[in-house]
Amino acid sequence: MKFFIDTADVAEIRDLASTGLVDGVTTNPSLIAKSGRPMAEVIAEICDAVPGPISAEVTATDYATMLREGRYLASIAKNVAVKVPLTVDGLKTCKTLSDAGTPVNVTLCFSAAQALLAAKAGAAYISPFVGRLDDIGAVGMDLIADIVEIYSAYDFKTAVLVASVRGPQHVIDAAKLGADVVTLPPAVLRLMYKHPLTDKGLEAFLADWAKTGQSILGAETDTA
C-alpha cells in the first residue's frame, strides 16, 4: 500500500518525506487556501519535495475551463496528477487528459457506480471518501470493498485511493481490503507510530541500559 499525505503544508511534507514513508501528496483548494500562497508556487514546491504523484485540483466546474486548468496544472511539474470532481464534466475532462497521457485523480466519490464510471473514463486514481460516509451513518469501508471487487473483476488499472481518513484504523481496514493507496493527514500518519506498550518497553530497556554505565559509542572509541 502506498501512503500519500493530504496537506499543502510544505514544511510538514518535507519533514514526513524525510522518513521515506511518503509516496505522494494530495491537495485540494481548501488545503491550498490555508497556505495563503499562490497555488502554482505551492504545487511546484511540493513536487520538488516528493518525487511521487502530487494531486493538484481544478476549481472550475465546466468542461472547457476544467480542461484548461488541468493542462496548466500538469505543466507545473512532471509528477502532477490533475484532480477533478466526479461530475459529468469532471469525467469528460478526465477522459481527455487521460487519453493525452496526464494522470487524473477523480475525487469526491461516494458510490461504486461513480467509481465504475471513473475507471471507464481512464482515471489513474479514484478517491472514495470513507470518513464522510461514516459521518452520515454509512460504512465507508463497504464502499472500498465494493470498488476493489469491481476493479479486480474487470482488471481496471485505476488505483483505489482511500481518502477522508480519520484515524489509523481506517488505514488498516483499507489495507486489509486491498486498497492501493491511502491519503492521510500528517497527524494520522504520526499516530500510526504510537502504542503505549512500545513506549513502556523502550522506557524499561533504557532504564536497564543506564544501570550498566556503558556507552555504545564509548565502546567504539575504546576499540578504535
Q: Tell me the three state secondary structure of residue 124.
A: coil
Neighbours of 144 (CB within 10 A): 25
Nearest Cα to 40, choosing from 79, 84, 76?
Answer: 76
CA angle at 68 for the pair 120 and 41, rounded to the nearest 5°: 110
Q: Please pick, among 2, 83, 95, 200, the residue that the annotation labels catalytic.
A: 83
83 is catalytic: yes
- Taking every pair of Cα atoms in the chain, the longest distance, rounded to a whole number of angstroms, is 71
Per the CB < 8 A criterion, the answer to whether 49 and 5 are in contact is no
* Burial call 64-81: b when 16+ CB within 10 Å, e when fewer: eebbebbbebbebbebbb
Residues designated catalytic: 83
